[in-house]
C-alpha cells in the first residue's frame, strides 16, 4: 500500500503546518484561551480563508472535496500546535452529521456556512448515564403540531457554549437502550427552552451542559433511524483525534529529546546517560506504533463496512491510549518538576493526550470492543 501523499495533500500539509508554526506559539495559545469563547475567532476566519474548514466537504458546498487522509493531515498539525478552536466539534462532528444525515436543503444551507466560518455547530449527545454507548439515549422528542419538541439533558457538549446550532440526539420511540428509535434534531442555540452552562475542560478547551425544556427542533435525517450515521461520524471523529494525538505525542517526544541534549547533571547532558537514552528510544517506538494504528484508522474511516470500520477505530484507540500515557509519563519524568508547571508547555500536551484517551471511549473500553470481535482480525 502506498502511504505517500499526493501533490495536493503535500500542499495542504505545508500550508497548515506553516500556519500553526507561525501563529500558534505557546504564549499565543494562552492568549487565545483567555478570550471569551475560549478560542480565537480571528484564527477561525484564517482557517476558513485557507480552506481548512472545507476539507471534508464536497466542492458543490464550497469544500475541498477531501477525505479522511486530508483530515488526518490537518488534525496532526493541530495536535502539534495544541489548537483550541472547535474544528472537531464543528467540522468533523457537526458537519459530518449534516453531510451524512441532512437533507439536500439542510446541506445547501448549513455546509457553506460551516466552510466559510460563519456557523459553529456542536453535537449534543452524551448523557450522564450513557457512558460510551451511542445508543443509550433518554432525551425525549415529541410531536408538536407540524414540528418536534425536545426535553432532556446533555453533558460534555464540545464547544456547546459558543455554538450557533446544536445537533441533538433524542428518542422518538422504544426503550432507553434500543438501537432503533433514535432521532437527530437541529436546534438553534437561542431557541426558547434551551439552557447552556459552559465550562473549561481539563485540557483548557470548552464544553457545556445543556438542558432542553420542550425546545422546538427540526429533524435531521429520518426520525428513529439515524444511529448508523452517528456511528459512522463518531468512527471518523476517532480517526481524526488519533491523528491529532500523533501531533501531540510527536511534540512531547521531540521536545523531551531536545531537553535531554541541553539539561546538564553531574557535568554532562542527561541525554548522554545510556539509561535515559533507552527511555527516549522506547518513547519513539511507542510513537511509531501509535502512528501506524492512526494510519490504519484513517484508511478504514471511509469504509462502508461498519464492523470493520469500528474495529479499526477501536484498535487504534487502544494503541493511542497506551502510547499516549507512556510517552506522557516519560516526558514528565525526564523533564522533572518543570514539566508540572502551568508555565511550561509539556504538561498541557499531556492533559490534551489524557482527554483524547477518554473521548469517545478510553483504551479499556475499546480493548473490550476488539476482544468481543477478535475473530474479525483472525
CATH code of the domain covering residue 159: 2.40.110.10
Confidence of residue 55 (pLDDT cuts 50, 70, 90): very high
Residues 157 and 251 in one domain: no
Residues 283 and 365 in one domain: yes
Rounded distance, CA 239 to CA 320, Å? 11
Confidence of residue 2 (pLDDT cuts 50, 70, 90): low
Measure Cα distances from 344 to 26, 305, 325, 336 in Å: 9, 44, 19, 12
Residues 128 and 204 in one domain: yes
Task: Look at the chain and report how many structural domains it folds into.
Answer: 3
Rounded distance, CA 326 to CA 114, Å? 37
- pLDDT (0 to 100) of residue 301: 96
Confidence of residue 333 (pLDDT cuts 50, 70, 90): very high
Across the range 170-177, mean pLDDT stands at 95
Residues 179 and 80 in one domain: no
- pLDDT (0 to 100) of residue 138: 97
Residues 69 and 182 in one domain: no
Domain membership of residue 293 (yes or no) is yes
Share of the chain above pLDDT 70, in %: 98
DSSP string of 299-364? HHTT-S-HHHHHHHHHHHHHHHHHHHHHHHHHHHHHHGGGGGSTTSSHHHHHHHHHHHHHTTS-HH
- pLDDT (0 to 100) of residue 295: 96
- pLDDT (0 to 100) of residue 221: 94
Across the range 48-72, mean pLDDT stands at 96
Domain membership of residue 174 (yes or no) is yes
Phi first, then psi: what are they for 320, rounded to 5°?
-60, -45
Domain membership of residue 48 (yes or no) is yes
pLDDT digits (tens, 9 = 90+) for 64-79: 999 999 999 999 999 9
- pLDDT (0 to 100) of residue 120: 98
104 pLDDT exceeds 60? yes
Domain membership of residue 112 (yes or no) is yes
Please give the DSSP secondary-structure letter assigned to residue 225.
Answer: B
Of 91, 119, 147, the position where a domain reaches its end is: 119
C-alpha cell at 263: 539539561
CATH code of the domain covering residue 340: 1.20.140.10
DSSP helix/strand/coil, 292: helix
Angle (nearest 5°) at CA 356 between 65 and 377: 75
- pLDDT (0 to 100) of residue 189: 96
Domain membership of residue 2 (yes or no) is no
pTM of the model: 0.95
Residues 200 and 247 in one domain: no
DSSP helix/strand/coil, 216: strand
Of 224, 244, 259, the position where a domain reaches its end is: 224
Residues 100 and 190 in one domain: no
Across the range 298-309, mean pLDDT stands at 94
Residues 245 and 373 in one domain: yes
CATH code of the domain covering residue 75: 1.10.540.10
Domain membership of residue 29 (yes or no) is yes
Confidence of residue 329 (pLDDT cuts 50, 70, 90): very high
Residues 199 and 238 in one domain: no
DSSP helix/strand/coil, 57: coil
Residue ranges making up the domain that contains 74:
7-119
Domain membership of residue 1 (yes or no) is no
Residues 233 and 373 in one domain: yes
Residues 346 and 244 in one domain: yes
Of 192, 224, 256, the position where a domain reaches its end is: 224
* Pairing label, strands 194-200, 165-171: unpaired
Residues 248 and 328 in one domain: yes
Residue carrying the nine cell digits 429533524: 219
- pLDDT (0 to 100) of residue 374: 65
Is residue 136 a contact partner of residue 116, using CB atoms and an 8 Å limit?
no
Confidence of residue 82 (pLDDT cuts 50, 70, 90): very high
- pLDDT (0 to 100) of residue 346: 95
378 pLDDT exceeds 50? no
Domain membership of residue 279 (yes or no) is yes
DSSP string of 80-131? HHT--SSHIIIIIIIHHHHHHHS-HHHHHHHHHHHHTT---EEEE---TTTT
Q: What is the mean pLDDT of the chain?
A: 95
Amino acid at each position: 500500500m502506498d502511504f505517500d501523499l499526493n501533490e495536493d495533500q503535500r500542499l495542504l500539509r505545508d500550508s497548515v503546518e506553516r500556519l500553526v508554526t507561525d501563529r500558534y506559539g505557546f504564549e499565543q495559545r494562552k492568549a487565545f484561551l483567555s478570550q471569551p469563547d475560549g478560542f480565537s475567532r480571528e484564527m477561525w476566519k484564517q482557517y476558513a480563508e485557507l480552506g481548512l474548514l472545507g476539507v471534508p466537504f464536497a466542492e458543490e458546498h464550497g469544500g475541498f472535496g477531501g477525505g479522511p487522509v486530508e483530515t488526518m493531515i490537518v488534525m496532526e498539525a493541530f495536535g502539534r500546535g495544541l489548537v483550541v478552536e472547535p474544528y472537531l466539534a464543528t467540522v468533523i462532528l457537526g458537519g459530518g452529521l449534516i453531510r451524512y444525515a441532512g437533507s439536500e436543503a439542510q446541506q445547501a444551507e448549513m455546509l457553506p456556512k460551516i466552510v466559510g466560518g460563519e456557523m459553529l455547530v456542536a453535537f449534543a449527545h452524551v448523557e450522564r448515564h450513557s457512558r460510551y454507548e451511542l445508543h443509550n439515549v433518554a432525551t425525549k422528542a415529541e410531536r408538536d403540531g407540524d414540528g418536534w419538541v425536545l426535553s432532556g439533558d446533555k453533558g460534555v457538549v464540545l464547544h456547546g457554549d459558543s455554538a450557533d446550532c446544536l445537533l441533538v440526539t433524542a428518542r422518538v420511540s422504544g426503550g432507553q437502550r434500543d438501537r432503533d428509535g433514535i432521532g437527530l434534531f437541529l436546534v438553534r442555540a437561542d431557541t426558547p427552552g434551551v439552557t447552556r452552562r459552559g465550562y473549561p475542560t481539563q485540557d483548557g478547551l470548552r464544553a457545556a451542559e445543556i438542558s432542553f425544556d420542550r425546545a422546538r427542533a427540526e429533524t435531521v435525517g429520518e426520525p428513529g433511524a439515524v444511529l448508523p450515521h452517528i456511528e459512522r461520524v463518531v468512527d471518523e471523529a476517532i480517526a481524526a483525534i488519533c491523528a491529532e494525538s500523533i501531533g501531540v505525542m510527536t511534540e512531547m517526544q521531540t521536545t523531551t529529546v531536545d531537553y535531554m541534549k541541553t539539561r546538564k547533571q553531574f557535568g554532562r547532558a542527561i541525554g548522554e546517560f545510556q539509561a535515559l537514552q533507552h527511555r527516549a528510544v522506547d518513547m519513539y517506538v511507542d510513537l511509531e506504533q501509535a502512528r501506524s494504528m492512526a494510519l490504519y484508522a484513517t484508511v478504514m474511516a471511509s469504509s462502508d463496512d461498519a464492523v470493520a470500520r469500528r474495529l479499526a477505530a477501536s484498535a487504534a484507540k487502544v494503541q493511542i491510549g497506551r502510547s499516549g500515557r507512556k510517552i506522557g509519563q516519560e516526558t514528565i519524568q525526564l523533564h522533572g518538576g518543570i514539566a508540572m508547571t502551568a508555565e511550561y508547555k509539556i504538561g498541557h500536551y499531556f492533559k490534551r493526550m489524557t482527554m483524547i484517551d477518554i473521548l469517545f471511549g478510553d483504551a479499556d473500553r475499546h480493548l473490550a470492543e476488539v476482544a468481543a470481535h477478535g475473530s474479525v482480525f483472525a
